[in-house]
Chains A and B, each alone.
Chain A
Amino acid sequence: MQRRIIKDKLFEIIIIIFALVSTFPLILILFQIVKKGIASINWSFFVNLPQPPGESGGGVSNAILGTFILIVIAGGFSILLGVLGGTFISEYKDKKISELIRLCVNIFQGIPSIVIGIIVYIWIVMPLHRFSALSGGIALGIMMLPLIVKSTEETLRLIPSSLKEASLALGASYTTTMLRVILPAGINGILSGILISVSRVAGETAPLLFTAFGNPFMNFNIFKPVDSLPLLIFNYSMSPYPEWHSIAWGASFVLISFIIILNILTKMVSRKWKTVF
């Protein structure tokens, strides 16, 4: 009996130790990013362009702008399509096509992001004969789609059908019912799905390698290559120059802060705008 109790305690202690040890890498990574990142961040970091190795005062303004442009294009490509598609499969649950879309969405959620890069290279980069912000944005947009479709469907499915009937029974048209009653009632879930998907793709690098490509200069033209924070971190960290490494730390700090803020925002949205039925 005594031995069983000791064994039980031992098991528990091992579980606790392993669980807590697995947070060490996180603490280590965050600690280093914060320490080295903050050290390399100053005003010029945000407003200047990258400098050649050996020169100080380089910034990442081009990558911050690029990330912003890419996310805007990605959102423009995916949000409307994803919400409408998600609405369709929740409205026509049992149709064959809905089943098919659901299956595709589930499979595509786990497709390696580099594959999306290949696709967009074939679809957009090859016909246009150049890397571009447009292609990078669409690559990120394709990655956002499954999440938006899924979160829209799951949100709408939780809305009681009596709500729709109440609106129809008042003589409202189907369109009005969907746009003024059903979608607003699900706004928190749909919005947090969109925010989550943005935070997922904000740090994506692989699909941008051969689409947005990277660009050390400021660029507003969506038909030309742009830089993004993850691309810049990749290129700088693979370089042999310590100055560039410290810029990469700074960029990592900015990127992680952005993602964590997005995650907090998502939680706030889903809590604050929660619809009570």
Chain B
Amino acid sequence: MENGILKILNFYAGYNVKTILTNINLSIPSNKVISIMGPSGCGKTTLIRCINRMHELQPDANFKGQILLNEKNIFATSPILVRRKIGMVFQKPNPFPTMSIYDNVVSGYILNGIKIPRSEKDRIVEETLRKVYLWDEVMDSLHRKGTFLSGGQQQRLCIARAMAMNPEIILLDEPTSALDPKATAKIEELITKIKKSVTVILVTHNTAQAARVSDFTAFLYLGELVEFGFTEKLFTTPKDKKTEEYLTGKFG
């Protein structure tokens, strides 16, 4: 675990006087799926929003400690560079409503003013949409608005949007909470596939989902990291009593 792609060291975060995360220490290995689970309000979302520096956009937000991406402190560079390397997918699908499906996929390039030739764009769009299993469904309507798609398709489009930038890490913030079981299954399937090219950090309050898709699981409770380890191990022989109680539905 020493050579993780992302290391979180003595990390605190909160708003104003309210502390949400306390002394988080976590080392995340690359090309794996890592679940962060815990009852609502435990700080899961705050944690991943710190990883791509979205947390600090909130008024009164504060934080302390270090997060290292490839051994480099992310707070020492521009947040914009950090966010290009760490993609994010949100709870509710949110494709850009004014852009076509095609433009949504390459929106990272468009919005960052990165000019790439048309053929290169075409390649990125097809490749990325194939990665998220959306290509076959939308190849004939690439220039329609992304908002005409179904919820599940929209969410896969949002994953594609994040993947198209070739990020090193992709953060998924309860990506299936607004979707039906069928769409959820599809997203879970693609999560386990894309880890070949990217490290996936998945926030979920659904323990079954964490068990199904992740290699490692972190259990967060009241802003503290209670336990972190191989998913199988954590689910079968939890070291901490709180983890066991959570997994057996005693709270949350």
Let me know if B94 and A166 touch, CB within 8 A: yes
Binds B, one of A79-87, A97-105, A172-180, A215-223: A172-180
Q: Which residues of B in the span 81-124 have a Cβ within 8 Å of any Cβ on A?
A: 81-84, 87-88, 90-92, 94, 96-98, 107-108, 110-113
Let me know if A170 and B54 touch, CB within 8 A: no
Known contacts A166-B90, A169-B54, A170-B107; decide if A176 and B112 are in contact (CB<8 Å): yes
CB of B7 within 8 Å of the partner chain: no
Chain B neighbourhood of A170, CB < 8 A = 83-84, 87, 107-108, 111-112, 161-162, 165
**Interface residue from B84, B145, B158 paired with A166 (Cβ < 8 Å):** B158
Chain A neighbourhood of B83, CB < 8 A = 168-171
Known contacts A166-B158, A176-B112, A177-B111; decide if A171 and B94 are in contact (CB<8 Å): no
Let me know if A172 and B112 touch, CB within 8 A: yes
**Least Cβ–Cβ distance between A173 and chain B, in angstroms:** 6
Let me know if B145 and A163 touch, CB within 8 A: no
Q: Which residues of A in the span 245-277 have a Cβ within 8 Å of any Cβ on B?
A: 275-277
Chain B neighbourhood of A171, CB < 8 A = 80-84, 108, 111-112, 165
Q: How many angstroms between the C-alpha atoms of A162 and B49 in the bound complex? A: 13
**Least Cβ–Cβ distance between A34 and chain B, in angstroms:** 41
Q: How many angstroms between the C-alpha atoms of A176 and B148 in the bound complex? A: 24
Nearest B residue (CB) for A180: B111
Let me know if A169 and B97 touch, CB within 8 A: no
Q: Which residues of A in the span 163-217 have a Cβ within 8 Å of any Cβ on B?
A: 163, 165-173, 176-177, 180-181, 184-185, 187
Q: How many angstroms between the C-alpha atoms of A169 and B110 in the bound complex? A: 14
Chain B neighbourhood of A163, CB < 8 A = 94, 96-97
Q: How many angstroms between the C-alpha atoms of A165 and B93 in the bound complex? A: 12
Chain A neighbourhood of B80, CB < 8 A = 171-173
CB of A25 within 8 Å of the partner chain: no
CB of A160 within 8 Å of the partner chain: yes
Let me know if B111 and A275 touch, CB within 8 A: no
Q: How many A-B residue pairs have CB under 8 A?
A: 81
Q: How many angstroms between the C-alpha atoms of A225 and B52 in the bound complex? A: 59
Let me know if A169 and B98 touch, CB within 8 A: no
Q: How many angstroms between the C-alpha atoms of A181 and B103 in the bound complex? A: 12
Which of A166, A167, A168 has the most C-beta atoms of chain B within 10 angstroms of its own C-beta? A166
**Interface residue from B81, B98, B108 paired with A275 (Cβ < 8 Å):** B98
Q: How many angstroms between the C-alpha atoms of A168 and B87 in the bound complex? A: 10
Chain B neighbourhood of A184, CB < 8 A = 98
Chain B neighbourhood of A172, CB < 8 A = 80, 108, 111-112
Q: Which residues of B in the span 147-194 have a Cβ within 8 Å of any Cβ on A?
A: 147-148, 158, 161-162, 165
Q: How many angstroms between the C-alpha atoms of A32 and B112 in the bound complex? A: 59
**Least Cβ–Cβ distance between B226 and chain A, in angstroms:** 27
Let me know if B97 and A180 touch, CB within 8 A: no
Let me know if B147 and A180 touch, CB within 8 A: no
Q: How many angstroms between the C-alpha atoms of A167 and B94 in the bound complex? A: 10
Q: How many angstroms between the C-alpha atoms of A173 and B107 in the bound complex? A: 13
Which of B94, B107, B108 has the most C-beta atoms of chain A within 10 angstroms of its own C-beta? B94
Q: How many angstroms between the C-alpha atoms of A127 and B108 in the bound complex? A: 52
Q: Which residues of B in the span 32-85 have a Cβ within 8 Å of any Cβ on A?
A: 52, 54, 57, 80-84
List chain B positions with a Cβ less than 8 A from chain A: 52, 54, 57, 80-84, 87-88, 90-92, 94, 96-98, 107-108, 110-113, 145, 147-148, 158, 161-162, 165
